[in-house]
Amino acid sequence: MAIKILGISGSLRKQSFNLSALKAARQLVPADATLDIYDIAGLPLFNQDEEQNPTPKVKDFKASIRAADAILFAVPEYNYSIAGVLKNAIDVASRPYGDSAWAGKPAAVMGASVGVLGTSRAQYHLRQCFVFLNMQPVQQPEVLIRECATEEAARAETSRPVRVHAGPADAELVLQRAREKFPEARPQIISDNGPQFVAKDFKEFLRQWQTTHVLTSPHYPQSNGKLERYHRTLKEQAIRPKTPLTLEDARRVVGEFVEHYNTVRLHSALGYVTPKDRLEGRHTEIYATRDRKLEAAREARRQRRANPEFSL
């Protein structure tokens, strides 16, 4: 009989990296196992006054856990611990006392975060819960998926192309790294957007990350100018305009160069003709044409000198 694994992601985010990790795991389970992903969205906030009156969602959640042979948790790390929604789900299914759905279940843990430690802190907090829940944790492997980011950001990590659209995950990646490197510092976001409308989500983001937003324009045109000059220098000098991102790209860029080098660019060593013209034997004809033109120009000058009115 197939082993039934229940996958639980601790993130409700649609584009969650942890949900993606579970989906990837679902494709990798052996033939004699299945992995169903349970969506914990919709579970009520745990209230001990209500624990004897479980909602249909709570009943369904507990039944799904009981029907599974093992649990696979995918844990995001929030403020160095497990996400509140996951802890809430664990609490909900652990009650009422004596009727926990978790007891005795084997549990494996993995986690994905934008930070460099890949949810290790959250995972050890979760493992602590397993003790009282009397779950049977799989100790190894430890699966720490670190420095996640959007597809573009991930590409930037390997090939550093110019990113046109940076999303919230990119901002989180930068802030999380800054925090880990300088735990005492309070990061500031400096932008030159001007005093326009600041979206509610962005304000919330700033609050969550305990950061401040500083506008450089229009009140600080000097620093704004410096920022823009910096961006220009960065683009001109650091981010090469033709950085190939794929093999096809590289072939195209090199192909264009070779084409230009062979057919357009003049070479002093070849008497200022293109390699193509030289190889195909057109150089003598080109030299002769050039000599004829030079001679015609010389003749025109002679004429002008001999007859100054003519040159007017």
Chain contacts with ligand FMN (rule: CB under 6 A): 11, 13, 16-18, 76-80, 112-115, 169, 172, 176, 208
Q: Which residue is nearest to ligand FMN (CB)?
A: 115
Minimum distance of ligand FMN from residue 273's CB (angstroms): 59
CB of 30 to ligand FMN, least distance (A): 25
At closest approach, how far in Å is the CB of 108 from ligand FMN?
Answer: 17
Short-list 174, 75, 170, 173, CA closest to 119: 75
Sign of CA dihedral 176, 180, 183, 188: negative
Strands (E), the chain: 3-9, 33-38, 70-74, 77-78, 81-82, 106-112, 136-137, 143-145, 188-191, 212-215
Angle, helix 168-181 to helix 151-159, in steps of 10 degrees: 50
SS3 of 143, please?
Answer: strand
Between 168 and 218, CB nearer to ligand FMN:
168
CA-CA distance, 46 to 266, in Å (whole number)?
Answer: 78
CB of 147 to ligand FMN, least distance (A): 9
Instruction: Rank residues 46 and 205 by Cβ distance to ligand FMN and give the closer one.
Output: 205
Q: Which is nearer to ligand FMN, 80 or 257 (CB)?
A: 80
Q: Of the two residues 54 and 115, which places its CB atom closer to ligand FMN in the complex?
A: 115
What single-letter amino acid sits at 113? S
* CB 17, min distance to ligand FMN, A: 4
* CA pair distance 179, 211, nearest whole angstrom: 11
Instruction: Compare residues 42 and 271 and give the one whose CB is closer to ligand FMN.
Output: 42
What one-character DSSP code corresponds to residue 46?
P
The rounded distance, in Å, linking the Cα atoms of 135 and 94 is 11
Tokens at residue 9, please?
């992601």
Which amino acid makes up residue 96?
P
| Side-chain half-sphere CA neighbours of 227 within 13 A | 15
Single-letter amino acid, residue 305: R
Residue number with CB closer to ligand FMN (50 or 147): 147
Min CB(241)–ligand FMN separation in Å:
32
In angstroms, what is the minimal distance from the CB of 122 to ligand FMN?
7
- C-beta of 54 vs 111, nearer to ligand FMN: 111
Nearer to ligand FMN, 11 or 224 (CB): 11
Cα–Cα distance measured from residue 69 to residue 268, given in angstroms and rounded to the nearest whole number: 77
Q: How far apart are CA 28 and CA 17, in angstroms?
A: 17
Least separation in angstroms between residue 128's CB and ligand FMN is: 16
